[in-house]
Amino acid sequence: MLRSRWAKVAVFLLCLVPFGRLAWRAWNGDLTPNPIEYITHFTGDWAIRLVVATLAVTPLRKLLHLPDLIRFRRMIGLFAFFYASLHFATWFGLDKFFDMHEILKDFTKRPFIIAGLTAFLSMTPLAVTSTKCWIRRLGGRRWQALHRLVYVTACAAVVHYYWLVESDIRWPLVYGSLVAILLAYQAGSWWRKRRTPAAAKTVGGAAS
């Protein structure tokens, strides 16, 4: 089932559902009394969820013995970037009206913005180089090394979230714990690979 073209279509549509919900609410004028805040929170939530989902693909495919799950990783990652771009654009365009003075003031007044920018900037090269053409251009090893930036994205996104909440830190802690578990899993897998060079060949192709 996971190998079929329809599975990819299904994952694509599933990742579009939040955007559809947002568009529907916007169309109906149902974006709460503070639409900018609502869109910022909604897109930020989906960006971080999909970053974590992208990180979870490799461990899940190994633990569940479902190698075909890898077919969806790039798409999920690109959707994470899509929601992060909407999130960034909402802040930049709707909230700050492209006013560079206000934007620079926000960086100094609200340091969590710097963590958000770090997360966003570290996602950008991943999205740009996600094509087969870029894998060929960079070569597998360099491409894989670059794509480890996803861990920087995930950590920066958690710091961003943790920093911005004022009292209820439950969700930042949930995301932080998930990222820590996934990072520990990946670190264990790299460590095993270094210790057993023979395994490196087999695991290498699937590393994230």
Q: Could you list the residues that contact ligand HEM (CB under 6 A)?
A: 40-41, 44-45, 47-48, 51, 84, 87-88, 91, 113, 116-117, 119-120, 157, 160-161, 164
Q: Which two tokens stand for residue 117?
A: 């920018």
Q: Shortest Cβ distance from residue 194 to ligand HEM (Å)?
A: 29
Please report, for residues 25, 82, 101, 129, 143, the alpha-carbon distance to residue 38 in angstroms, rounded to integers and kept in the order given.
11, 17, 24, 31, 36
Instruction: Closer to ligand HEM by CB, 40 or 208: give it.
Output: 40
Q: Hey, what amino acid is at 31?
A: L
Q: Shortest Cβ distance from residue 116 to ligand HEM (Å)?
A: 3
- Residue 34's Cβ-count burial label (10 Å; 0-12, 13-18, 19+) is exposed
Cβ–Cβ under 8 Å, residues 83 and 54: no
Instruction: Closer to ligand HEM by CB, 74 or 193: give it.
Output: 74
Q: Shortest Cβ distance from residue 82 to ligand HEM (Å)?
A: 11
Q: Shortest Cβ distance from residue 33 to ligand HEM (Å)?
A: 15
Nearest of 115, 91, 112, 118 to residue 103 by alpha carbon: 91
Instruction: Closer to ligand HEM by CB, 93 or 204: give it.
Output: 93
